[in-house]
């Protein structure tokens, strides 16, 4: 089995997995779009061997299928960066909500003492 056939098979299975996770509501649509896009791009690239070889030739890559792994790795880096930004935003929101809750509890405690 060639690396291209393996890549096509894995990309197709991955696409089915993402769609099933969305159907079961285990994966939000906003994140699934990135994974679906990645799977479709990987399928297109895997089916078009001449495109991979052309890109590899332009980049000076000796083993063209290595580009599939490079594209996957770059996608993972981009997705990790996106998730880090989301986590940073959510951490700030949790901190703000915790501070607001503490203020509300203190006000409630003060009003309870004044009554």
By the 8 A CB rule, do 46 and 7 touch? yes
pLDDT band at 103 (very low <50, low <70, confident <90, very high): very high
pLDDT in tens, 17-45: 989 998 998 888 877 888 888 888 878 88
pLDDT in tens, 52-81: 889 999 999 999 888 878 888 888 898 899
Domain total of the chain: 1
Distance separating alpha carbons of residues 71 and 61, to the nearest angstrom: 13
Q: What pTM did the predictor assign?
A: 0.65
Residue 17 vs residue 115, higher pLDDT: 17
Q: Is the pLDDT of residue 115 over 70?
A: no
């Amino acid at each position: 089995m060639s690396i291209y056939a393996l890549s096509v098979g894995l990309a197709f299975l991955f696409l089915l997995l993402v769609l099933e996770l969305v159907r079961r509501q285990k994966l939000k649509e906003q994140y699934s779009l990135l994974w679906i896009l990645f799977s479709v791009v990987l399928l297109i690239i895997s089916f078009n061997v001449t495109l991979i070889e052309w890109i590899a030739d332009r980049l000076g890559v000796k083993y063209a299928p290595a580009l599939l792994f490079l594209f996957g790795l770059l996608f993972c880096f981009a997705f990790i960066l996106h998730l880090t930004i989301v986590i940073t935003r959510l951490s700030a929101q949790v901190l703000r909500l915790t501070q607001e809750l503490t203020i509300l509890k203190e006000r409630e405690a003060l009003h309870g003492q004044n009554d």
